[in-house]
Amino acid sequence: LLGFAILSIEVVAVRRVAARVGSSLEAWTAVLAVALLGIAIGAARARDGVPRSTRARRLAGGVGLLTLLGLLDRAVLDRTLDGDGLPATIRVFLAVALVYGPAFAVLGSLGPRIGRAVVGSGSDDGRRLARVSMFSTLGALVGTLATAPVLLPALRSEAVLALSAIVAVGASAIIGRGPLRRFAIGAAPAIVVFAVGLALPSALRSRPPPNVDPSAVRVVFDEDSPYARVAVVEVEGEPAQRVSRLSIDARVHGVVAPHAALPPRSIFAGLATAIIDRTVERTVERLDAPMLLVLGGGVYAVPRAFLATHPRGRCEVIELDPAVNEAARRHLGLHGDPRLRVVEGDARAELASGGGIAPTFDVIFVDAFGDVSIPWTLTTTEFAGEAKSRLRPGGTLIVNTIDAFVPGRFIAAFHETLRSVFAHVEVVGATRDDAELQNFVFVASDAVPSLSGLTRATTAGPVPIVRYPASEWEQLGRRVGARALTDDFAPVESLLGDVVSRTMGR
């Protein structure tokens, strides 16, 4: 029970912290450090002088109450992470220590008590302690292997945290050999949270979009998948003007009007669609029936716009998270279109195996990158080579990234990566502000990209896109010492360290 509780809380804590921080490296480092430190402190402070039943009662109440503190992690993490004057790693550590440190200390104090319970004066005490260690490890394995793929999708993160607390309270009650009433009192707060987490998860987690009247907002989808927390918040109004917002973890991924003929084109969607259309126009012999592969579904704005513009075109989408697809089908206007095929799976694996997608495409568009969430497997020369092998002659790989040109360490490395695989690489954007986070869209092909005079559609009319001269990329590469990324060398989170520190607690 104790091993399960500790590891299950660790997994959920990393999920929730990473969503606020944006870096799994920072999240894992902080949570593991706090867990080990808290368990050590709890074990060191265990005392023999208090009666066993009294200790168990205190522990039971402490574990239950600390669960409630853990569920308030959003407010504590946001306030701590927003602090200035300290390095990002220190801020993350302090935030995790405030939220989860007490819980790990309480759990750590149970270990010595279990050891004392099995040690007598017999010659097999060592074997008994070994059995305790073995069962603790088995429970930890269950907590590790079951939490993300099974418990989170079934119960959601709030309920899993509460379940872990209930299990820990049960462990303390068993050690103290206390009555059932003692267990019920200690577990009561966690049981309440467990019930609310199952029935009304949005009451514990979701919040309305900024600058929107809360009374006009309705949470219509809120699920934990094995990969992320996926939520859809609907801003109510007339059906034609009703807008839905998709969030993946703590980041807003996109906004659509499900009842409109076309989704409203964001700055990014307008830019991506303009580039794809221009690229398709270059392939004259397949102008009437272009083939597009999109890696990353999200709100499906780009596939829908592409199919509306090219009635005879076909689009295939590889989306990793089944919860994202379910949200899109139920609440984001993704209806059955015979020209659109959705494959659930890992983009890199599906691209390499090819069993579930068409053999070749005119355009491959990568829309799986966020500002701080970039799967490194889609950034390497090996991936670029696999994508190139799936392109028809003259085909184009288009990748949307987010970074700031200053310092620009990630985009400089990614530029070098694509240049090592494709003959021509051009980078464009919607606007330009070198000190701010921007969309950088990489257009890579063995044919010369034809992007001159390209505009993107806006409500005010067509607006020219921003093109970055090749000379600036040469200068940027020299300034940051850029080198191509490979499957053996892809320190993406390190390269995005500045971006992560900017967006912490957002």
Structure tokens at 17: 């912290």
Alpha helices in 123-241 (DSSP H): 125-146, 152-176, 180-199, 201-204
Burial class of 355 by CB neighbour count within 10 A (0 to 12, 13 to 18, 19+): exposed
Q: What 3-state DSSP class applies to 5?
A: helix
* Residue labelled with tokens 């989306």: 319
Q: Round to whole Å and give the CA distance between 408 and 469.
A: 15
Strand partners of residue 256: 244
Kindly state the helix (H) or strand (E) to which residue 30 belongs, with its residue range.
helix 24-44
Roughly how many angstroms between the first and final C-alpha of the chain, as a whole number? 35
Q: Round to whole Å and give the CA distance between 95 and 99.
A: 6
Q: What 3-state DSSP class applies to 369?
A: coil
Q: What 3-state DSSP class applies to 356?
A: coil
Burial class of 294 by CB neighbour count within 10 A (0 to 12, 13 to 18, 19+): buried
Residue 83, amino acid: G
Residue 22: the pLDDT is 73
CB under 8 Å, gap of 24 or more: what pairs does 140-144 form? 140/3, 140/4, 140/6, 140/7, 141/3, 141/7, 142/3, 142/4, 142/7, 143/3, 143/4, 143/5, 143/6, 143/7, 143/8, 143/10, 143/11, 144/7, 144/11
Q: Round to whole Å and give the CA distance between 326 and 331.
A: 8
* Residue labelled with tokens 């935030």: 95
Return phi, psi of residue 396, to 5°.
-135, 135
Structure tokens at 129: 């302690």
The DSSP output letter for 317 is E
User: CA torsion angle for 100, 103, 108, 114 (degrees, to 10)?
Assistant: -150
Structure tokens at 502: 């900017």
User: Which residues have C-beta within 8 Å of that of residue 273, sequence separation ≥ 6?
Assistant: 265, 302, 305, 306, 309, 456, 457
Return phi, psi of residue 266, to 5°.
-75, 175
Are 43 and 112 in contact, with CB atoms under 8 Å apart? yes
92 C-beta neighbours (distance < 10 Å), count: 31
Return phi, psi of residue 283, to 5°.
-95, 80
Q: What pTM was computed for the model? A: 0.82
Q: Kindly list the distances between the CA atom of residue 422 and the CA atoms of 87, 398, 426, 454, in Å, as whole numbers in the listed order.
A: 38, 12, 11, 22
Q: Round to whole Å and give the CA distance between 499 and 501.
A: 6
DSSP readout, 402-461?
Answer: EE-TTT-HHHHHHHHHHHTT-SEEEEEESS--TTS-EEEEEEEESSPP--TT-EE--TT-
Q: Round to whole Å and give the CA distance between 201 and 222.
A: 7
Q: Kindly list the distances between the CA atom of residue 152 and the CA atoms of 64, 224, 229, 290, in Å, as whole numbers in the listed order.
A: 20, 6, 9, 40
Q: What is the mean pLDDT of each run of 10 residues along the chain (506 residues)?
A: 90 85 83 93 75 63 69 72 74 87 85 77 79 91 92 86 84 69 70 79 59 70 87 73 80 74 63 84 65 92 88 92 92 85 91 84 89 85 95 92 91 96 93 88 90 78 86 94 93 84 66
CB under 8 Å, gap of 24 or more: what pairs does 492-495 form? 492/374, 492/376, 492/379, 492/410, 493/23, 493/24, 493/25, 493/26, 493/376, 494/25, 495/409, 495/410, 495/413
435 C-beta neighbours (distance < 10 Å), count: 8
Structure tokens at 343: 């494959």
Q: Kindly list the distances between the CA atom of residue 2 and the CA atoms of 136, 142, 201, 457, in Å, as whole numbers in the listed order.
A: 7, 11, 26, 57
Structure tokens at 281: 């126009």
